Structure 1
Amino acid sequence: MFMSTVEPLYMEHWLRILEQKFQLLNVTDEQKVRFATQQLLGSTSAWWDTFNVMQPVDHHVTWKLSEFLKLKQGNMTMMEYVNKFNHLAQYVGTHVDTDEKKMECFNHGLCCILQEKLHIGGYRTFGTLMNAAIAMEGVQRDSPLLWRYFSMTLRLSGSARG
């Protein structure tokens, strides 16, 4: 069973256990989604129900789509997150068929601080957003003082536009 958690390792552990069961039982991708969603509890189950109601009648969620929609950066480096995001994005069709949708999904999985800083930047393409996220992580890691300056510059430029 799975309940909502902020701990990414718990979710990864739960997914690993499910994958082991799927492999043992030779479960198809469509069956994986049905099996996994029966394991959801609390707000996670409510989220899934809401998500399903909003889908077109003939829409079928695949296991990769479910994994993509739950993707969070968590403890991953930005490059690890970018690689995982891009890998899963190739399986989710209309969820990322425009730069705007791709940017929204990418941003959704980032930590709140990066979401705010990237939103202020006003990036217009997924490529520029992704490159900015990678650069910001590098600046934050390599030079905390420069990171503070960079953050202030973004805030000032964001307020000047608004």
Structure 2
Amino acid sequence: MLEEWIRMFDKIFEVVDCPEDRQVELATFYLRQQADLWCMFERPACRQDPEFGWESLKDKLLERFYPAHVKVEKYEEFLHLKQVSISVMEYHKKFLELARFASVLVPIGESKVEKFVAGLNFEARKALTVSKPKTLNKAYLCAIDLYRVQHVQKGIQETRMRSFETSVAPVVMSLSFTGAEPS
């Protein structure tokens, strides 16, 4: 949440061309709850530092509200991330959320693609290993297409099974009531 907030302000400052000397003031105006209390007590000491600015505030906020043990937990979660029973979209979203904690593990595009593919279910992993997508986005699009096709195929199989059951069941039932042997 905090990282999203920081990225949002980075974008706002860039778009509105906010002067550097006003960025801290604007950002701290929007702080809430614990972060607002923290800032209220830290602001006087921060203002004593002539070099203090938006980048310094971001670092201090992340240091305070995103401690090292949380980063380690997220890194571990990323290491063991698997699609299992979630959709490709959910897996991709979780992958992106956690990948930032493992920049050492997946520093370049190819490593990210390999890690993403390795966490997919077996069928998707098999298909993407053959197609060898070069970017994470291509891997995601291939996996989502495969997932869609698998769902269509599953629906067709279920429809066939239901139609088979409705066409065969009356015949089997009539044979069992008459005592006739099927030929």
Q: TM-score, normalised by structure 1?
A: 0.51
What is residue 99 of structure 1 aligned with on the other side?
109
Partners in 2 of 1:122 and 1:110 — Cα distance?
14
SS in 1 for 2:140: helix
Aligned residues with identical type, % of pairs: 30
CA distance in 1, matches of 2:99, 2:86: 17
Aligned equivalent of 2:120, options 110, 113, 125: 110
1:122 aligns with 2:132: yes
Provide, for residues 12-59 of structure 1, a one-character-per-residue CA deviation record: whole Å limited to 9, x for no partner: xxxxxxxxxxxxxxxx543x7xxxxxxxxxxxxxxxxxxxxxxxxxxx
Q: Which has a greater percent of helix?
A: 2
| One-letter amino acid matched to 1:76 | I
Instruction: Trace 1:1-162 onto structure 2 (pairs within 5 A).
Output: 29-30=68-69, 62-144=72-154
User: How many pairs are equivalent?
Assistant: 91
Q: What SS does structure 2 have at the residue aligned with 1:143?
A: helix
**RMSD (CA atoms):** 2.3
Give the alignment's TM-score, normalised by structure 2.
0.45
Which structure has the bigger radius of gyration? 2
Query: Structure 2: which 5+ runs fail to align?
Result: 1-66, 157-183
**1:78 CA displacement:** 0.7
Unaligned ranges ≥5, structure 1: 1-27, 33-60, 147-162
